[in-house]
Structure 1
Amino acid sequence: MDNFSQMQAFLWAHEHGNFSVAARANGITPSTVSKLISRLENRLQVRLFQRGNRSLTLTEEGSAYLVSARKVMNAMAEADSLAEAFPTQVSGALRIHTMTTFAKHQIMPWLPEFMATYPGLTVDLQVGPQYVDHFDQGLDIAIHSGVLPDSSRVARKIGESAWIICASPEYLARKGTPNHPEDLLNHDCFNFAFNSTWNNWQFRVDGETVTVAIKPKAVFAQGDLQRDIALNGGGIVKLAQFHIGADLKAGRLVPLLQAYDIPSKEPIYLIYTHRKHLSPRIRVFRDFLEQKLKASPWD
């Protein structure tokens, strides 16, 4: 930092031709300018100015240093101008990992608009049912719900979603509607194929939390497969509201056992590495996503 101050003082002194005038023009004392240039000359082991009573004249070494100093200052000004343009001239590759269902139902509908807004940006959208920390491998953003492992990552809550037990009207017409959580033991139910709290079917019965140990007819690695089998009349599923909100609104799926719901919602997090000096490509995606989710579209 001191080297920069010395170079800046040198350029000011050359511009104004006098230490005192240069100091007044830049809000510092003449002695400060004099000391900075003396340190610069000592560091370079050359004299840059011939000091007159009222003016300064560059030495041969000073003229050579002036050329290099101007190049450095111009390069810094160019770098600053590029940084100022980052918010509107976003470019590069944005790497995202999220749940398959969140990508399909909450990102893909507006992703074309986002890419048209930032044409210099390419998107690498990776999907999987569970959170993975691949930031050391170039990942920029992860979007996941539920309980996250302790880490130094920044987890910014962007929404919350209930889990809904539901079935299609066709299935209920054929097999009947369960009126009590224990009735699920006599129905065709489906779960995830991996170990997850999402497989716990919990209810509030007589003031107590009760877990019903359903016997899944089949298990699936992806929530969309559960949704598909439910829409086709296969049975009862428990899926996130952000996933099936449109199906519930349209009546394609019917919520069940709502009188026994536990009134809680699962948080959804946007995860990245640092809070300060956030990359422009991450910042614009975060802002775009939060704007799209502002109205809780799945409620």
Structure 2
Amino acid sequence: MNKLQAMEVFVQVVDAGGFTRAAEHLQLPKATVSTLVQALEQALAVKLLHRTTRQVQVTSDGAAYYERCVRILSDVKEAEESLSTNRLSPSGRLRIDVSTGLANAMLIPMLPDFFARYPDIRVDMGCGDRPVDLIEEGVDCAIRGGILPDSGLIARRLGMLEFVTCASPAYLAKRGRPNHPNDLMNHQCVNYFSSKTGKIYDWDFSRDGETLNIATPACLAVNDSTVYTSAGLAGLGIVQMVTMVGDPLVASGQMEIILPGWTTEPLPVNAVYPQNRHLSAKVRVFVEWVADLFLAWPEQAKGKD
């Protein structure tokens, strides 16, 4: 038995929902497809599929094995692409993970350009601010802000995220406008906490050599950037937004800048991916494309490698 072929046949049977359609897709006799799956089950000593006269269903062991087979076959294809002319036209499923704020502000509006360049790549985008285990969850590439832990992953610096401190007109009409960062202690702020540790992030300010770190008072703390923006728009408190999200809201009059002249330390943003993905053509072109987006963004969003 060619185990790699058998794995490919098994995946196709699961995807097609039956042996007949899988055989048609693979252009193999149905008997050959059935024999290969049976040989795979015998070699593994487990039942992968429940067969009835009407349908084929995956067992729990089969479902777990299916996920591993998909990853292995994908790795084999990427290894071949990295050494062939196919690298000029990458294809296949690209699983990425990105914060909701960055997805809404930058990636989603520009994805038509990516698909125009690489029509054979299918993107599965996970959105959220929680940390993900790229290897365990089968993620090819994640875009993340902040200082990266020493995880053994490969990282590519994409840019720096600048922040703007702002509040809704309704909030300012009700509570007034702070003139100094220390005045925030008499205001309501919307805080942000780590999805991993639960830690509330302090706010930092700098001006003319003076640096302040403030634990801001808040009636609400969230761990999602889109919800954070919504809370600011709802007048629940003062917020610190990345400029690519906050600037359009300020320009439209939905938010107003406060504490002008005080800056916040920019946040590095990186593309991270497992070491076995560094030769993948689809990961490479995606990371380069996102890096170009940051270079084309306004000056405050630019960064250096």
Whether 2:147 is the aligned partner of 1:158: answer no
**Aligned-pair CA distance for 1:244:** 2.2
CA RMSD in angstroms, aligned pairs only: 2.8
**Aligned-pair CA distance for 1:158:** 0.7
Whether 2:235 is the aligned partner of 1:227: answer no
Structure 1 equivalent of residue 6 of structure 2: none
Runs of 4+ in 1 over 6 A off after TM superposition: 79-82
Identical residues among aligned pairs (%):
34
The question of whether the paired residues in 2 share the 8 Å contact of 1:154 and 1:275 is answered with no
Q: Take 2:108 and 2:277, find their aligned partners in 1: how far apart are those partners? A: 28
**Aligned-pair CA distance for 1:126:** 0.9
Cα displacement string for residues 165-194 of structure 1 (whole angstroms, at most 9, x for unaligned residues): 211233223321100112112222111243
Match of 1:258 among 245, 254, 260: 260
Q: Take 1:275 and 1:249, find their aligned partners in 2: how far apart are those partners? A: 43
The question of whether the paired residues in 1 share the 8 Å contact of 2:81 and 2:281 is answered with no
Q: Take 2:158 and 2:198, find their aligned partners in 1: how far apart are those partners? A: 22
| Unpaired segments ≥5 residues, structure 2 | 1-79, 301-305
Q: 170-179 or 253-262: which moved more?
A: 253-262
The question of whether the paired residues in 1 share the 8 Å contact of 2:191 and 2:221 is answered with yes
**Aligned-pair CA distance for 1:270:** 0.8
Could you say if the C-alpha distance between residues 100 and 229 of structure 1 is closer, same or farther in structure 2, counting changes exceeding 3 Å? Answer: same
Q: Take 2:119 and 2:262, find their aligned partners in 1: how far apart are those partners? A: 48
**Aligned-pair CA distance for 1:207:** 4.4
Structure 2 equivalent of residue 110 of structure 1: 110
Q: Residue type matched to 2:190 in 1?
A: F
The question of whether the paired residues in 2 share the 8 Å contact of 1:193 and 1:219 is answered with yes
Q: Take 2:247 and 2:198, find their aligned partners in 1: how far apart are those partners? A: 21
Q: Residue type matched to 2:290 in 1?
A: L
Whether 2:275 is the aligned partner of 1:274: answer yes
Structure 2 equivalent of residue 243 of structure 1: 245
Q: TM-score, normalised by structure 2?
A: 0.63
Q: Residue type matched to 2:236 in 1?
A: G
Cα displacement string for residues 190-248 of structure 1 (whole angstroms, at most 9, x for unaligned residues): 11243577721122378443222222111223121221122233321122223323223
Could you say if the C-alpha distance between residues 91 and 80 of structure 1 is closer, same or farther in structure 2, counting changes exceeding 3 Å? Answer: closer
**Aligned-pair CA distance for 1:153:** 1.5
Which structure has the greater CA radius of gyration? 1
Structure 1 equivalent of residue 131 of structure 2: 131
Structure 1 equivalent of residue 288 of structure 2: 287
Could you say if the C-alpha distance between residues 81 and 204 of structure 1 is closer, same or farther in structure 2, counting changes exceeding 3 Å? Answer: closer
Could you say if the C-alpha distance between residues 225 and 97 of structure 1 is closer, same or farther in structure 2, counting changes exceeding 3 Å? Answer: same
Could you say if the C-alpha distance between residues 276 and 199 of structure 1 is closer, same or farther in structure 2, counting changes exceeding 3 Å? Answer: closer
The question of whether the paired residues in 2 share the 8 Å contact of 1:231 and 1:253 is answered with yes
Structure 1 equivalent of residue 212 of structure 2: 210
Q: Residue type matched to 1:102 in 2?
A: L
> In structure 2, the residue corresponding to 1:159 is in which secondary structure?
strand
Could you say if the C-alpha distance between residues 162 and 275 of structure 1 is closer, same or farther in structure 2, counting changes exceeding 3 Å? Answer: farther
How many residues get paired? 219
The question of whether the paired residues in 2 share the 8 Å contact of 1:245 and 1:298 is answered with no
**Aligned-pair CA distance for 1:298:** 7.8
The question of whether the paired residues in 2 share the 8 Å contact of 1:143 and 1:270 is answered with yes
Structure 2 equivalent of residue 296 of structure 1: 297
Q: Residue type matched to 1:232 in 2?
A: A
Q: TM-score, normalised by structure 1?
A: 0.65
The question of whether the paired residues in 2 share the 8 Å contact of 1:158 and 1:269 is answered with yes
Could you say if the C-alpha distance between residues 87 and 197 of structure 1 is closer, same or farther in structure 2, counting changes exceeding 3 Å? Answer: farther
> In structure 2, the residue corresponding to 1:287 is in which secondary structure?
helix
